[in-house]
Chains A and B, each alone.
Chain A
Amino acid sequence: MKRVLETKDVAGQSPNYLLARVQDLVDWAVNASRANSLWPMPFGTACCAIEFMATAASRYDFARFGMERQAFSPRQADVLICAGRLPFKLAPVIRRIYDQMPQPKWVISMGACASTGGIFDNYAMVQGIDTIVPVDVYVPGCPPRPEGLLYGVLLLHKKIKGESLFDGVPRRDEAVLDERGLRLPPDQINEISEPFGNSVHQFRSE
């Protein structure tokens, strides 16, 4: 609001007119509506989905933040919430769901497993869903408490409110997958899939 509107003081009196660029006004209106009426597409695969349900239910109630309608169809959804670990077998499924969502769309990676593979540094698990779909907000935790997910949603609101229709930047990678069938270069996937933290001390895989 501060960025958009500029008040003009006239001789110490209360402001009696406003100045704003039309672009900023449009961005403000569009972004505020988008941010405050997100329709989440829950993609719950594990225990994070239980916390997600708690977040959606009456005690935490993310309907307070505009997420009143959960879309169990990707075609009527804005934000994909991957709640839980993603095995390789589900990778083409989440990719198809993401591709089916209309623009504009955002992705929240909920929990350690969705964000990094978590404790499942093994043959079956995707090491971070960002190797499959672009991610806007990573919520840490194992699983995150509902407050954590709500904080992630609020961060997403903040991010959306900072976007602009007029900056000439394509909002999101529209390309489905590159000619290799990947969304990141292979060495980048290998790099972000490397074990880190305590996993580097894990010798069983040699």
Chain B
Amino acid sequence: MNPSVDALRATFGNAIGRAAEASGDTIVYVARASLSAVMAWLRDTPGQAYDYLVDVTAVEYRDRERPLEVVYFLRSLARRVDLRIKIELDPRGELTLDSVVPLWRGADWLEREVYDMFGISFRGHPDLRRILMWETYAEGHPLRKDFPLRGRFSRAEQVRQALAAHPEAHYSMEELSIADAYDELPADMKERLRRGERGTLPHSE
């Protein structure tokens, strides 16, 4: 069992639910309300240092009584330790969670995928919209168990809606321009842009 579990219990008490071990990985259930605090603690506490969010996904079980689970795969690159955090959500209740994008930027698309496939929204996500299905997709969230395998609409309606979509809407360069990314660029790249090495600076400082 990963020693982080005991440390979590000591720090957060009742917010930490049961813990299990599966195939050498430790799984900890965390109360929904403490998600942000627990994640920030796991990332920033020196002895923990889970600096890498490997994946965010969700599971809905065939058993309708079981809750929907959102799963966070954490890894500490320096310590080479993995930890899995699970949040249980009642599928009949409100499917909302705090976003972890403020902690790990890489969670952006992962949470969008969970939203797209399961309909779970993430509070505080900068750009929560569908990522795999197109944005006008109206049939629901395909990986939910109540979603019919072949979709809700007739095949003709599906073909009609697909053909009505604008094929370039999702692949435009407007989605991320160098101007949007400028603040995030490494210093040497900023310097090269400032010198005008490649193109010109989109907005001068």
Contact = CB atoms under 8 A, between A and B. Distances in A.
Given A121-B150, A205-B148, A205-B150, A92 B167 contact: yes
Given A182-B163, A186-B154, 4 more contacts: A131-B155, A132-B163, A182-B159, A186-B156
Q: How large is the interface on B (under 10, 10 to 19, 20 to 34, 35 or more residues)?
A: 20 to 34
Contact of B139 (A96, A123, A189): A123
A193 interface: yes
Residue with the greatest number of chain A CB neighbours at <10 A, chosen from B134, B149, B165, B166: B149
Contacts of A55: none
Interface of A: 88-89, 91-93, 95-96, 121-124, 126-127, 131-132, 177, 180-182, 186-187, 189-190, 193, 202, 204-206
B158 to A, nearest CB: 6
A187 B164 contact: no
B119 interface: no
Given A88-B159, A91-B159, A190 B133 contact: no
Contacts of A186: 154, 156-157, 160
Given A182-B156, A187-B156, A189-B155, A123 B150 contact: yes
Interface in B138-157: 139, 142, 147-151, 154-157
A105 B34 CA distance: 61
Contacts of B160: 180-182, 186
B162 interface: yes
Contacts of A180: 160
A88 to B, nearest CB: 4
Contacts, number: 71
SS of A interface (majority) = loop
A190 B156 CA distance: 6
A123 B147 contact: yes
Interface of B: 133-134, 139, 142, 147-151, 154-167
Given A123-B142, A123-B149, A181 B154 contact: no
A206 B148 CA distance: 6
Contacts of A95: 163
A120 to B, nearest CB: 10
21 contacts: A88-B159, A88-B162, A89-B133, A89-B134, A92-B163, A92-B167, A95-B163, A122-B149, A122-B150, A122-B151, A123-B142, A123-B148, A124-B142, A126-B162, A127-B155, A182-B156, A190-B154, A190-B156, A204-B149, A205-B149, A206-B148
Given A121-B150, A123-B139, A123-B151, A88 B166 contact: no
Contacts of B161: 88
A89 B158 CA distance: 10
Contacts of B167: 92-93, 96
A28 B113 CA distance: 55
A131 B162 CA distance: 11
Contacts of A122: 149-151
B168 to A, nearest CB: 9
Nearest to B140: A123
A88 B154 CA distance: 13
B162 A193 contact: no
Contacts of A177: 163
A124 B134 CA distance: 11
Nearest to B156: A186
